Amino acid sequence: MEQIFVDRIDAGGKLTHPLSHLANHNPVILGMARGGMILAAEIANRLDLQLDVLVVRKVGAPSNPEYGVGAVAPMDVTVCDEEVLRSLRLSDEDMRPIFNRELAEVERRLKTYRVGMPALDLANRTVILVDDGLATGITAIAAARYAKKLGAAYLVYAAPVCSKEGSASIAAEVEEVVCLQTPESFFAVGAWYRNFDQVEDQEIIEIMEVARKKEYLS
């Protein structure tokens, strides 16, 4: 039965149980900022796991920025929807300035959220990528390829609601997909939440500060 989540904290709480079997593997939780970070913090707190932030950006077409043709993640990770690019008659050369601009924005946001804190080491770790929902799957793919680039040994993607197409696309990139529901008719991610307010940068900064302080004291 399809469910509506109260908010991102409620969704994160409901994701905790199906991820609890991974707790003994000492995983890193990567919250996909902005919205996924709220869920990731809830899961990390409940399971007492390490938490870090990941910024991934959708890349839009030159003539229509809202029309996604790819995504970028840190470490110069880029993903293109080749079929869409062909249909729009766009080349890599056409897209390079846009990808570069979005990669720069990824790094700017990471610096803002980390406030000088180093990234957690993902090498040979179980990594759980958490977002507040999955539509096309292009940003999730970029996130997975970033984690692989940093040496993650076992990748899990988790979201409370996923489109069937998006779930299938990310399943090819990770070892495990945890989606609480994959509705037949998928609307915008926010349609599955009663409260889907925008998450502000300061919320992410505060979550990161608490997470690092917790690690320092443990």
Q: In tens digits, what is the pLDDT along the chain, a chain of 218 residues?
A: 578 999 999 999 999 999 999 999 989 999 999 999 999 999 999 999 999 999 999 998 887 777 778 899 999 999 988 888 788 888 778 888 889 999 999 999 999 999 888 899 999 999 999 999 999 899 999 999 999 999 999 999 999 999 999 999 999 999 999 999 999 888 889 999 999 999 999 999 999 999 888 776 55
Residue 210 CB neighbours (<10 A)? 14
pLDDT of 85 reads 79
Tens of pLDDT, residue by residue over 179-204, are: 999 998 888 899 999 999 999 999 99
pLDDT of 1 reads 58
Helix (H, G, I), strand (E, B) or coil at 55: strand
Tell me, yes or no, whether 2 lies in a domain: no
> Residue 159 belongs to what domain range?
8-56+122-217
Residues 176 and 83 in one domain: no
Residues 99 and 201 in one domain: no
pLDDT of 217 reads 54
Which residues are 55's β-sheet partners?
33
Is residue 9 classed exposed, middle or buried when 0-12, 13-18 and 19+ CB atoms within 10 A define those classes?
Answer: middle
pLDDT of 135 reads 92
State how many domains the chain has: 2
Tell me, yes or no, whether 191 lies in a domain: yes
Strands 126-130 and 50-55: unpaired
pLDDT of 145 reads 98
Residues 182 and 129 in one domain: yes
Distance between alpha carbon 122 and the CA centroid of its chain, in Å? Answer: 15
| Angstrom distance (rounded) from CA 66 to CA 104 | 19
Nearest to 55 by CA among 109, 99, 119, 101: 109
| Angstrom distance (rounded) from CA 88 to CA 211 | 43
Tell me, yes or no, whether 97 lies in a domain: yes
Distance between alpha carbon 1 and the CA centroid of its chain, in Å? Answer: 25
Question: CATH number, domain at 156?
Answer: 3.40.50.2020
Residues 134 and 197 in one domain: yes
| Angstrom distance (rounded) from CA 11 to CA 97 | 36
Residues 209 and 136 in one domain: yes
Q: Is the pTM of this model over 0.85?
A: yes
Tell me, yes or no, whether 91 lies in a domain: yes
Cβ–Cβ under 8 Å, residues 163 and 182: yes
| Angstrom distance (rounded) from CA 80 to CA 158 | 22
Residues 27 and 64 in one domain: no
pLDDT of 83 reads 83
Tell me, yes or no, whether 64 lies in a domain: yes
Residues 39 and 146 in one domain: yes
1: number of CA atoms within 13 Å, CB side? 3
